[in-house]
């Protein structure tokens, strides 16, 4: 155990996806059940092997225990139904890994299922405001949606770094290039800088292509002990390290500089738990609800020196074949928005060497992150490692 983390003792043994769509036509229970069943089949396991279930949601999906009932789990040894946005996405998998390492459970399935386009639109205003104190001071001014909140953060970050719109555009364009190589991606047309700059504004400085997709989908991963995983169908991917942290609860909790996220506090603990440094990361899957969060996290996780991310993208280092490929599946901007867990699934795929045309050659270590703490007040991340 390092900083309380069971390094390399727990693995991800299976991954499963539903179709990414604008209208799934089914319930979130059906989406979850499909993704879980596919992840189990990928691992070579059945529903009867599951004794733990874990998910996160924000009042927009089905309870974990109901999915367990649908799967026919008779003796549920561990369940976690975590309330929270994308900042909790990686914490769900970390908690499942701790349950396995402690012996509370043997096989835990983690997922996110959401009809975020056709049903319960993420950040929509057609329902009651979240039960957060600061919303009482925002709603009278019509300041309520994620693009509005993140736009102010984006403007502050751009001003502090001297970033231009083109710097954000390169993030969107690079991820679109990657998405074109993924059979699951929702966005199937190339994106040019002219397209990006001509797109309609959503909330200044954010344009259309700065914002993540609204997606109906589910993604699941199977967590079990590393030794057990080695006897299953797929090459195991070890959970080398995990960490959770705090964040900016909106904008008034005493974090003086909004251009540095809570991930900067979390990162040293994460790398210490995994036994690696940022220079050993081969591929990065970084939470990208909005474009500026990607270069911000490159800085805060120590992958690129602060203020140098513009050149990093301009020189092609984030592309496939570059120094550190970022969001190789297209991310939330171009593949689909499944609230963080599709980043974990892509990291697993890369470390298995199974990503096809978008494969990063020789990838051994991946960083995958949840939302870095803004608005929701929490952040989480994993370092995954190919089993040697």
The set of catalytic residues is: 287, 337
Rounded Cα gap, residues 347 and 230, in angstroms: 18
134, burial (CB in 10 Å: exposed 0-12, middle 13-18, buried 19+): middle
CA-based radius of gyration for the chain:
19
Rounded Cα gap, residues 186 and 39, in angstroms: 21
140, burial (CB in 10 Å: exposed 0-12, middle 13-18, buried 19+): exposed
Would you mind telling me the total number of residues written for the chain in this entry? 388
CA atoms lying within 13 Å on the CB side of residue 124: 14
Per DSSP bridges, beta strands 379-386 and 365-369 are antiparallel
Q: What is the largest CA-CA distance in the chain?
A: 58
Per DSSP, what are the bridge partners of residue 112? 219
**Cα separations in angstroms, 138 against 156, 181, 251:** 19, 41, 11
Which structure tokens are listed for 292?
């500026």
Q: What is the DSSP letter of 224?
A: E
Q: Which residues of 362-383 are buried (b: 16+ CB within 10 A; e: fewer)?
A: ebbbbbbbbbbbbbbbbbbbbb
Which positions ≥6 away from 170 have C-beta within 8 Å?
193, 313, 314
Please state, as a whole number, how many other Cβ atoms lie within 10 Å of the Cβ of residue 68: 21
């Amino acid at each position: 155990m390092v900083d309380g983390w069971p390094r390399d003792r727990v693995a991800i043994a299976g991954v499963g996806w539903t179709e990414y769509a604008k209208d799934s036509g089914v319930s979130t229970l059906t989406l979850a059940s499909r993704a879980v069943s596919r992840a189990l089949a990928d691992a070579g396991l059945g529903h009867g092997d599951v004794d733990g279930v874990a998910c996160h949601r924000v009042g927009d999906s089905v309870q974990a225990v109901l999915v367990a009932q649908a799967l026919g789990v008779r003796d549920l040894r561990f369940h976690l139904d975590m309330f929270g946005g994308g900042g909790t996405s990686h914490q769900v998998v970390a908690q499942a890994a701790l349950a396995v390492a402690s012996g509370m459970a043997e096989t835990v399935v983690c997922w996110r299922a959401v009809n975020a386009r056709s049903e319960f639109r993420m950040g929509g205003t057609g329902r009651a405001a979240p039960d957060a104190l600061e919303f009482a001071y925002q709603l009278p001014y019509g300041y309520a949606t994620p693009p509005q909140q993140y736009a102010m953060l984006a403007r502050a970050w751009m001003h502090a770094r001297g970033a231009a719109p083109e710097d954000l555009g390169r993030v969107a364009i690079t991820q679109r290039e990657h998405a074109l190589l993924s059979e699951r991606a929702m966005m199937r047309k190339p994106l040019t800088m002219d397209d990006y700059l001509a797109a309609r504004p959503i909330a200044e400085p954010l344009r259309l292509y700065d914002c993540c997709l609204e997606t109906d989908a589910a993604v699941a991963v199977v967590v079990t002990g590393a030794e057990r995983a080695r006897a299953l169908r797929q090459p195991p991917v070890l959970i080398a390290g995990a960490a959770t942290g705090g964040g900016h609860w909106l904008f008034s909790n005493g974090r003086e500089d909004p251009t540095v996220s809570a991930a900067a506090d979390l990162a040293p603990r994460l790398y210490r738990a995994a036994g690696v440094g940022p220079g050993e990361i081969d591929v990065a899957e970084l939470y990208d609800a909005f474009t500026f969060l990607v270069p911000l996290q490159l800085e805060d996780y120590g992958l690129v020196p602060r203020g140098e991310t513009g050149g990093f993208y301009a020189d092609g280092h984030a592309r496939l074949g570059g120094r550190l490929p970022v969001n190789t599946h297209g991310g939330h901007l171009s593949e689909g928005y499944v609230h963080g867990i599709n980043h974990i699934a892509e990291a697993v795929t890369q470390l298995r060497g199974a990503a096809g045309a978008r494969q990063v050659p020789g990838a051994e270590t991946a960083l995958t992150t949840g939302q870095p703490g803004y608005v929701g007040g929490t952040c989480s991340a994993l370092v995954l490692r190919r089993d040697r």
